[in-house]
Structure 1
């Protein structure tokens, strides 16, 4: 049986490749999708956005790419999806949903929830001070 670290890295690489293929038609990558998805929920300040997508690096590059493509509007204090961004979001979100459904095919809601709970506890164990 392979250890947890192997599976985490392997699955992350597979997800990365799968999302790259899914998002390529839209000229996006996983990071720009995370920013697009986060801003779809509500406008954010840059600090809020950075905190919301913290696990994903290159927030600056993702924001620049989306702004250059005319999908987001950046004001002095706020970033938000504009009408073009909202239209793009709808198309991309449908593709992402298809990929997520494929990734979790054959896994019950209970199994998925249990897996997430275990990962959350492992993360908490690793971030707790002391030994």
Structure 2
């Protein structure tokens, strides 16, 4: 069974989202959301943490609020994880849920199409 959570929209629909699309589209989702709700795009600050292995953390500012994501193995992954933190936070706000739902749903369809392409390549 895949990891994820159910997002209820207006009590009628439920969409299964793999841990917000496995973070692949989180920055894209957040940027699109910012444009749709007339907010500034988020700004990211990523740093490499000390240690024997490269590990990064990213903090972003969106709509005047600072968010820190989980650590990632690359700067890009850390930024996606920070964006996911914001998305999960926004899903709890009634003013943002409908818009986010539509954006996530469109990315979910794209993600499914990409998975089908990958699967078909494995068959050839």
Task: With the length of structure 1 as denominator, give the TM-score of the two structures.
Answer: 0.29
The structure number with the bigger radius of gyration is: 1
Select the structure that is richer in helix: 1
Select the structure that is richer in strand: 2
